[in-house]
């Protein structure tokens, strides 16, 4: 699959959250040396590509999404030479490498922003950002009522070079992440050069952070609560990605562009996937879907229809570094949907139920047409860690919400690799420093080492699923089954997932290929998925 010119159409792509994947130098923080030591694990898992969250120099106010230099490597993670070694060694194992790019904003330590502060109002340096005079007496009020997605106002006032209270700058996220102004031709040229810088070093593609948010309504109008129209999915953003696609196509093996867009309409998301824009985008409707057969079928149908209209491959995702892990999400009572407005932190969790459902959801996602994205630890069945002490939390959401929202640290706890106690091999056997976020002692039986020798483990399920998913070929055709059962066929391959409370009989089949939980007297239990080879299929 990795050798196909359009390998991304069916690829399994594994997200590495670098700080939490593996620590090679023993300082408690993941790094590129740790990744190099674990590349064999990823190849054995059966994925086709790795996606790295930002590895650039950063103050780490927002886990690296506050970038200080887009052409270098954060020293905590290693060097540019280390990154090039990762690229070479991954390629030798047949693994593609995708990296994050963050075009909506940068760090307040970026050379452009420090120059803007020094240059003062009206300067060309400030035109790269959204600096505006304030409203009210002496400009003491923000330019408009926009809210940061991390809580609080989306505007921060600066002190001018002469020491006086000055203009305000826009930041849709942390105040340490000033938004770039994409009306500036200089900003556009800079990022096109950044793309080439990394493509020339062998990177196979980019995951584009906040891909819908680059263009803002220049009038900066006030909005009603929840209205993001002036700074999300503006029509002008498509021109940017057409230029990027031309760059991606200029290389002998076309490079991949993957968009992150949290939009309320799949058809709006699909517009970014027209032939001259991006190649793929994350399917967040699937990720947030409640545990219900009808709702999942509706999302799958909408996804397939909207992507078919633009000729793009659909993609399926159950977790990432920003959302509650599936084991916890599916283990909550009632509606198991998810939104950033309500992460349901503190709601009781039935972990056994959540694990059963997460295993079943994994087989569903892996059997659908298109690509799949996995987030590190998902293949180990890890759950959200919700009892991290407040003084150890590092997500800026925690502070900006006045401790009302614990934020995203719970899905970013470092990976457990081996051993019976923390740090579970994350920093090696002789590490002196604790991991940057604490691991629970209950993970002793969830390490990669322990699960690798257990045929019933979540890791074994993922390894088998990633190997066997290639048997699912062709278009999806729904099968009639009992109420509460989601069932479809792709060629001689079939997937059934039982959302109902009682076991249901299996249709006639030639072979059971894989099941997320054991069958009961040949029937499919509740919250279980099964893959079948149907009668007449060939081996």
Residues identified as active-site: 209, 260
DSSP assignment letter at 531: E
Cis peptide bond prior to 147, omega within 30° of 0: no
Tell me the C-alpha distance between 58 and 68, whole Å.
5
Which among 174, 198, 164 is positioned nearest to 113, based on CA atoms? 174
Answer whether 208's CB lies under 8 Å from 103's CB: yes
Structure tokens at 292: 């219900």
Tell me the C-alpha distance between 215 and 227, whole Å.
15
Angle ∠(217,222,227) on CA atoms, nearest 5: 80
Three-class SS string for 54-71?
Answer: CCCCCCCCCCCCCCCCCC
Q: How is 238-280 classified by DSSP, letter by letter?
A: HHHHHHHHHHHHTSSSPPEEEE----S-HHHHHGGGSTTS-SE
Strand partners, 498: 485, 528
Tell me the C-alpha distance between 58 and 84, whole Å.
19
Residues in the chain: 539
Rg of the chain, C-alpha, whole Å: 23
Between strands 256-259 and 49-52, the pairing is unpaired
Answer whether 167's CB lies under 8 Å from 131's CB: yes
Tell me the C-alpha distance between 30 and 27, whole Å.
8
SS3 376: coil
Answer whether 143's CB lies under 8 Å from 133's CB: yes
SS3 334: coil
């Amino acid at each position: 699959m990795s050798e196909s010119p359009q390998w991304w159409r069916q690829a399994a792509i594994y997200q590495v959250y670098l700080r939490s994947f593996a620590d090679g130098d023993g300082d408690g923080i993941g790094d590129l040396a740790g990744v190099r030591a674990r590349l064999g694990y990823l190849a054995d898992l059966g994925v086709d590509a790795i996606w790295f969250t930002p590895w650039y120099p950063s103050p780490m106010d927002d886990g690296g999404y506050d970038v200080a230099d887009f052409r270098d490597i954060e020293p905590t993670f290693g060097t540019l030479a280390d990154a090039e070694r990762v690229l070479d060694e991954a390629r030798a194992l047949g693994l593609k490498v995708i990296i994050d790019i963050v075009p909506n904003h940068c760090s307040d330590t970026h050379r452009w922003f420090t120059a803007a502060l020094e240059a003062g109002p009206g300067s060309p340096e400030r035109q790269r950002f959204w600096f505006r005079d304030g409203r009210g007496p002496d400009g003491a009020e923000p330019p408009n009522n926009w809210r940061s997605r991390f809580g609080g106002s989306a505007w921060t006032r600066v002190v001018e070079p002469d020491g006086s209270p000055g203009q305000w700058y826009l930041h849709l996220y942390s105040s340490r992440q000033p938004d770039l102004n994409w009306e500036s031709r200089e900003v556009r040229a800079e990022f096109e050069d950044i793309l080439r810088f990394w493509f020339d070093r062998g990177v196979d593609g980019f995951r584009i952070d906040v891909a819908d948010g680059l263009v803002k309504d220049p009038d900066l109008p006030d909005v009603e609560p929840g209205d993001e129209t002036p700074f999300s999915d503006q029509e002008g953003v498509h021109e940017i990605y057409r230029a990027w696609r031309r760059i991606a196509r200029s290389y002998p093996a076309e490079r991949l562009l993957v968009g992150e867009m949290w939009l309320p309409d799949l058809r709006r998301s699909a517009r970014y996937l027209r032939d001259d824009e991006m190649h793929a985008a994350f399917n967040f409707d699937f990720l947030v879907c409640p545990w219900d057969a009808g709702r999942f079928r509706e999302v799958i149908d909408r996804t397939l229809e909207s992507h078919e209209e633009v000729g793009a491959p659909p993609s399926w995702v159950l977790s990432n570094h920003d959302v509650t892990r599936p084991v916890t999400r599916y283990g909550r009572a009632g509606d198991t949907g998810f939104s950033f407005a309500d992460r349901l932190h503190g709601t009781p969790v039935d972990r056994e139920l959540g694990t059963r459902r997460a295993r079943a959801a994994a087989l569903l996602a892996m059997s659908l047409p298109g690509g799949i994205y996995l987030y590190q630890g998902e293949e180990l069945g890890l759950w959200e860690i919700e009892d991290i002490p407040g003084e150890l939390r590092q997500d800026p959401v925690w502070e900006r919400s006045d401790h009302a929202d614990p934020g995203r640290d719970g899905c970013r706890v470092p990976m457990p690799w081996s051993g019976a106690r923390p740090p579970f091999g994350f920093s090696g056997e002789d590490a002196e420093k604790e991991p940057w976020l604490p691991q629970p002692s209950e993970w002793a039986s969830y390490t990669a080492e322990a699960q690798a020798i257990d045929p019933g483990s979540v890791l074994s399920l993922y390894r088998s699923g990633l190997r066997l998913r290639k048997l699912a070929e062709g278009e999806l055709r729904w099968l009639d089954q009992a109420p509460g059962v989601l069932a479809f066929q792709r060629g001689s391959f079939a997937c059934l997932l039982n959302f109902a409370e009682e076991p249901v009989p299996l249709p006639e089949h030639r072979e059971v290929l894989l099941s997320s939980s054991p069958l009961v007297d040949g029937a499919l239990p509740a919250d279980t998925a099964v893959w079948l080879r149907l009668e007449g299929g060939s081996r």
